[in-house]
Amino acid sequence: MMPLRQNQLLTAMTQIALTPEQIADLKRLLLQRQTLLERTLDLELHADDPSHVSITGESDADWAAADAEADVMIAKAERDANELTSMSLALDKIADGTYGVCEACGDDIGYPRLLAYPGARRCLGCQEKAEGLRHT
C-alpha cells in the first residue's frame, strides 16, 4: 500500500460529512474541554488571590521575576479564554446545525480534523491558506 500524498490526505480529511454519532462524540469532547478551560481560567484569574504566596521581595531581581511570571500567566489566560470562546462557538454551531462546515469555502471540515481540534472553523486546506502555508 502506497502512502497518501499530501493532497490525498487533505481530501480524505475534508470530504466526508459528519454522522450524528460523530457529532455526539465531538460535542462530548467540546463540553469536556470547555469544563477544563473554565476551571483553568478560574485558577489563572485568581492567582493573585491573597491566599497565594508572593515571590516578590525587596530586590529588583525579585520584582523582575514576578513581572515575568505575571506576563506568562496573562498570556496563558488569554490563550485559554480564546480557546474557551472557540469551544462555545463550536457548541453553538452544533445547536444550529452548522458544525463541521468550513466558514471559508462551505465544504465539510471532516471528522479527523475535528477530532484533532474540535473548535476548528475551517477545513485543513482553507486553514493552511489562511496561515500562508499553501501557495496553490
pLDDT score of 71? 85
Q: What is the pTM of this model?
A: 0.72
pLDDT score of 54? 54
Among 14-23, 33-42, 57-66, the least confident range: 57-66
Domains and CATH numbers, the chain: 25-47+62-121 (1.20.120.910)
Instruction: Give pairs for 101-109: CB < 8 Å, separation 24+.
Output: 102/14, 102/126, 104/129, 104/130, 107/14, 107/15, 108/14, 108/15, 108/16, 108/17, 108/18, 109/14
If one counts every other C-beta atom within 10 angstroms of the C-beta of residue 21, the result is 8
The burial class, CB within 10 Å (0-12 / 13-18 / 19+), for 76 is: middle
**Bigger pLDDT: 64 or 4?**
64
The predicted-structure confidence for 74-129, as pLDDT tens digits, reads as follows 899 999 999 999 999 999 999 999 999 999 999 999 999 999 999 999 999 999 99
